[in-house]
Amino acid sequence: MLAKRIIPCLDVKDGRVVKGVKFVDLKDTGDPVELASFYDKAGADELVFLDITASYEGRKTMIDVARRTAQEIFIPFIVGGGIGTIDQIRDVLKAGADKISLNTPAVEHPELITEGAKIFGSQCMVVAIDACWNEKMGEWEVYTHGGRKATGISALEWVTRVEKLGAGEILLTSMDADGGKIGYDISLTLAVGERTNLPVIASGGAGSLEHFAEVLTEGKADAALAASVFHYRQFSVQEVKKYLQEQGVEVRLS
């Protein structure tokens, strides 16, 4: 059995790490490179950098942050936000990122997933899915542009499609749970996991140690991502891992 991964997420806006609730009311939580170094030493398995307004504002992603981070840490990291061309994917990977995350560009130009997988390998291509329950649709709907734009696309159908297109991993964020600290959306995570053979990183809603165990067992996620509980030192990565180990969940302890 593969060890479950614990992944701090650094949402970056204007070169600073921020955290909000349901993608709004953002508060500054620190310098991205300093936080990345801290989490590397703290035993995180991976890191995710998301330039959360890059697609919305039409800006390129933060190449400089990626380059400086690669010089400071030894764990894999994913960069997403504003990456919309093969050249931009290449630039981010050359800067030191191990994987790139596509959200808005993947929906608007699905062929980018396939082309990127062919050139750089599927393992580099993470598709980020921001999903929100749509009562009228009776299912979860995909949102783009930093959670600002509803697409009318079924999240479960989209997961099936991106796997066929060549994605190597899914970064799944529940917009309903994001920032609320009431727990991950187990129903969404499990439903997505049952639709795909790809590893699923669950995001949105971590507020207690129990929440991590729930999403990795009941939700069958391969990794659990969190932000505010780590940024505000509610508990450490090692505390999460030790708790998970006590619950019989396979993790890597440093």
By three-state DSSP, how is residue 158 classified? helix
Phi first, then psi, for residue 248 (nearest 5°) are 85, 15
Tokens (6 digits) for 7: 């992944």
Q: How far apart, in whole angstroms, are the C-alpha atoms of residue 233 and residue 57?
A: 31
Region of 152 please: left (phi>0), alpha (psi -120 to 50) or beta.
left
Q: Rounded to whole angstroms, how far apart are CA atoms 164 and 168?
A: 10
Question: How would you classify residue 148: left for phi > 0, otherwise alpha for psi between -120 and 50, otherwise beta?
Answer: alpha
* Assigned token pair, 24: 């709004």
Q: Which of 11, 40, 51, 91 is catalytic?
A: 11
**Does the annotation count 130 as an active-site position?**
yes
> In which residue are the tokens 């990565």 written?
237
Find where tokens 């600073």 sit. Answer: 16
Helix or strand or coil: residue 25? strand
Q: How far apart are alpha carbons 150 and 165 in whole angstroms?
A: 22
Q: Which run of H or E residues covers position 190?
A: helix 186-195
Query: 234 Cβ partners below 8 Å, 6+ apart?
Result: 207, 228
Q: Which of 40, 45, 51, 130 does the annotation list as catalytic?
A: 130
- What residues are annotated to the active site? 11, 130
